[in-house]
Structure 1
Amino acid sequence: MRPGTLVRLALAGTRTDTVRVALTALSAALATLAGLAALTVLAIPTPLRTDDNSARWSLQYANTLLREPGLRGGTAFALLLLAVPVLALAGQCARLGAPARDRRLAALRLAGATPGQVTRLAVLETGVASLVGTITGLVAFLAAHELLDRPDARGQLALPTDVLPPPVALAAVVLGLPAVAAAGTAFLLRRVATTPFGVVRRAGRDHAPRPWFALLILVGLAAFAAYPPMRSWFDRRNLEWPLLFLPGLLVVGGLAATVGSVLASAWFSHTAGRLLHRLARGPAALLAARRLMADPWAGSRTFAALLAAVLFGGGAAGMRAHAQARYDIERAEFRLIGDFADPDPFYLQTIGLVDLAVALAVTIAAGGLLVALVEGIVARRRAYAALVAQGVPRGVLGRSIAWQALAPAVPAVLLALSVGLLLGRGFAGPVHTGVVSGQVCEATAELCADPATRERYLRTIGPSERHFMPDVPLEHLALFGAGTLAAVALTVLVGLLFLRASTAVEELRAT
């Protein structure tokens, strides 16, 4: 098959296929923007040490996150985390209109195409759509780089618009993301056989999920709990940290906890299905129970990005509680020594930016959840149409879809919030008191004002040193969890708008 013919067939299809390609390209563009922003932060040069700038800060920026060299790595990592729900959204969009695409691929097999050619068509569709998205993201990034290069009155920049990543890094992002997307598609199709009579999955998971996810969560919690004592061990001995050991410990621990929380949704789905099947009496709950038990792994696929965002939100809540307790203690200790200046609120403001990033990630993940929900309704439209034709009200079907989405979502969100909170507390460690000390003159104002007598009455005051864990931020966690579940409920309501069109009796004649 010629390359031109291959590309034309890969991009052919109905309006649903066009929407799928457009959404995949949009997801790739957003992921490109996040990756290029992270690379730009890392490309900021660190100036040489001078008498006026011994800390080697990049003073041309107004934001401390960009000025301090030690904070840029964390800023870049946070930007890269935004790409996680975007890539998950791309994975959800790839399933949009899957039944029609499967029939189109089967028709190509019937016309004489080989299985390898059909697989290359599916891989090329994802790769070309992703390439269009990454090129669009690169153009948007370069345009924003020029438009936002506006120094303020002090000559400082709000964003690092004076630097660009190396050309090799730009090419790696623009070409690497489509290559990874195409490779992922080929990997997912390794157990799929496209025949002239349809698409057949050669093997599947026919066993109930096991609670092995708990081991991964424990590994992640242990890694984060080990970070503060190991960092203190290196600091006490004035040793340099191994280049990748401590960051690698956090990355491995975070991935283990995230994967464990995502896999937990499959176990929650199967368990919720069993409980509903045993205890429920209404038809909507019974339909949802059978669906949850038939495909419990759908929960881990559907809620993956959302649970990852919720886990990071729980970690941000733990970090906020630590920063707030530290701020309050320093403020009280300043008052104790007679200094009424407030401590630097930089860390609290930074946590606020993290909360904003997490809210954005939840919004993107909710979009992916909506795509998955609509795709599931459309894919099962013949079954739903048959139920309606037999007399099942559409309201019962709508409530069953709501049960199917919310029953595993509630415990999964609670678990992800708890794991994220424990990760944040393990990373931050206990709050230390006794960090502020000063001298107080214990005499009359006249004696303290006289330099000759002031020294006699000076006394050094230092609060007692102790360590404690901050209170659990129940209000913040409850607000974030309720917002996440409200987003899930809203996506269910929007998805149900497609139920009436998908349950028309004419759908029984669909091929």
Structure 2
Amino acid sequence: MSLATLTRLALAGNRTDAARVALTALSALLATLAALAALTVLAIEKPPGDAWQQSEQYVSDLLSQPGLRGGTAFALVLLTIPVLALAGQSARLGAPSRDRRLAALRLAGATSGQVSRVAMLETGFASLGGTLVGLAAYLIGRSVLHRPDANGLLALPTDVLPPVSAMAAVVFGLPVLAAAATAVLLRRVVTTPLGVVRRAGRTGSPRPWPALLIGLGVLAAAMIEQIQWALQGAGLEWLALIALLGIFGAVMGVIFGVGWISHLAGRTLHRFARRPAALLAARRLTDDPWASSRTFAALLAALIIAGGAAAFRASFRLHAEIEQEQNRQAGYGGEIYYNPFYLDTMNLVDLAVAVAVVIAVAGLFVTLVEGIVSRRRAYAALVATGVPRATIGTSIVWQVLTPVVPAVLIALGVGYAIGRLLTGGVGRGGPQPDVPLGQLASQGAGAIIAVLLVVGLGMLFLRSNTAVEELRAT
């Protein structure tokens, strides 16, 4: 099969396939913008002078101070985690109809490898379109936003451009990564002329081994001071890498741990529930506990970052209070000499976390609607046998909320623990910041409320997908 034929087949499909391609392209666009923004921050040249010589052409200290630029780029890279999770969730949209289309290609004589390449090309082309649009938006935005103020200072680093090789690596590397991820996801799938067969994958109940990843992530944060002492002279890059690996391990541990939580919640519901809705949810949770890990991956990643940001804010607030008190005792007037830079910076971090949560909730909505559409025949059969739609809707609420509530608490707790260990106290034996219970509670409650709103919107698709006519759907 020629490349032109593969390309034509990859671009074919119905409206659901078009929606999947559009969401995949949007995810690639957002990831491209975040990655290019991080590269731009890192591309700022250090002016002549000592290691701490500032770049005076910028308004924000995040850009002018060389010691803060690495953290700014790191935060931008973290924003790509929920975006990439959204891409993974978008790839599942319309999966049953795509499977039937691939099976039809097998019936027409295509090999299993060829239909796999069709799926890979579809994802790769969608991602390439998104990255190209993202590159164009970045270049146009860089030109439009290059507006020095009255003092000639810039709000954004629009005077620098990342190396062309680095930009090309982002624009062309993300589609290759997306296509490779599709190949990995299809490794247990065999497309036959009569349909799609999945090889035996995970069997048995999930185990709590992801707790080991969480423990390693927290341990890396706890040992950061000792590692810094051991790597004296090695630069901050190694510390940033160790911190990033620790955070990534903790994120993966929480995400994979939701599978174990879902299975345990399903068994508990099955044992104690008496209502049909809870029993239906219990069976779904025990049959496919890993679905929750896929569904809430982006949301939990964003909440871990939110918990860490809350720890940093509490530490900065304590430093500000100590600085104000010292200024009062010295007779300088704390309100005059207090520098609110770090607390103001945390406002930007909170805004970035809010954007990440919005992206994660969008991915959750895509996954929820896809779940309703893919199981429409089973739901229609239940309705045909007399099960009220309200019962099915309530079972979906049970299925979503039962694992997500403990998962949200664990994600915030892990994020706060890592952030607290990275910030440390104010000197050895000094005062320690209070636990920001109010902020953590508002973040957790906001995430759960957002999930409830998404479930409510998803219920709008339930009636149309539980009609008796769906029993004749192919």
TM bucket, shorter chain = over 0.9
> Does the 8 A contact of 1:269 with 1:299 survive in 2?
yes
Among 370, 374, 382, the residue aligned to 1:387? 382
> Does the 8 A contact of 1:228 with 1:428 survive in 2?
no
**Cα offset for 1:230?**
3.6
Other-structure match for 2:418: 423
> Which moves more between the two structures, 207-216 or 371-380?
207-216
Secondary structure (helix, strand or coil) at the match of 1:154 reads coil
2:444 is aligned with 1:498: no
**Cα offset for 1:407?**
0.4
Other-structure match for 1:435: none
Other-structure match for 2:62: 65
Secondary structure (helix, strand or coil) at the match of 1:200 reads strand
Other-structure match for 2:26: 26
Q: Distance in 2 between matches of 1:154 and 1:346?
A: 20
Q: Distance in 2 between matches of 1:242 and 1:148?
A: 33
Structure 1 segment 122-271 matched on structure 2, within 5 A: 122-231=119-228, 239-242=232-235, 244-271=237-264
Gap regions ≥5 residues in structure 2: none
2:371 is aligned with 1:376: yes
**RMSD, aligned CA:** 1.3
Among 261, 275, 291, the residue aligned to 2:284? 291
Gap regions ≥5 residues in structure 1: 433-464
Other-structure match for 2:73: 76
**Cα offset for 1:209?**
0.8
Secondary structure (helix, strand or coil) at the match of 1:211 reads coil
Which stretches of structure 1, 4 residues or longer, exceed 4 Å deviation after superposition? none
Other-structure match for 1:397: 392
Q: Distance in 2 between matches of 1:347 and 1:197?
A: 61
Kindly provide the CA deviation profile for residues 109-137 of structure 1, in whole angstroms up to 9, marking residues without a partner as x.
Answer: 00101111100000000000000000000
Q: Distance in 1 between matches of 2:39 and 2:318?
A: 33
Q: Distance in 1 between matches of 2:75 and 2:237?
A: 18
Kindly provide the CA deviation profile for residues 153-205 of structure 1, in whole angstroms up to 9, marking residues without a partner as x.
Answer: 11100000111111111111110000000011011111110001111111221
**Cα offset for 1:466?**
4.4
Q: Distance in 1 between matches of 2:239 and 2:306?
A: 22
**Cα offset for 1:251?**
1.6
Q: TM-score, normalised by structure 2?
A: 0.98
Among 332, 337, 341, the residue aligned to 1:342? 337
Q: TM-score, normalised by structure 1?
A: 0.91
Which amino acid counterpart does residue 324 of structure 2 have in structure 1?
Answer: R
**CA distance 1:233–1:4, change in 2 (3 Å):** closer
Q: Distance in 2 between matches of 1:181 and 1:143?
A: 25
Q: Distance in 2 between matches of 1:352 and 1:142?
A: 27
Other-structure match for 2:296: 303
Among 77, 99, 111, the residue aligned to 2:96? 99
Q: Distance in 1 between matches of 2:20 and 2:258?
A: 26
**CA distance 1:63–1:244, change in 2 (3 Å):** closer
Other-structure match for 2:359: 364
2:443 is aligned with 1:473: no
Among 82, 85, 99, the residue aligned to 1:85? 82
Say which one has the larger Rg. Answer: 1
Q: Distance in 2 between matches of 1:187 and 1:242?
A: 36
Count of residue pairs the alignment pairs up: 472
Structure 1 segment 272-291 matched on structure 2, within 5 A: 272-291=265-284
Q: Distance in 1 between matches of 2:53 and 2:281?
A: 60
2:471 is aligned with 1:508: yes
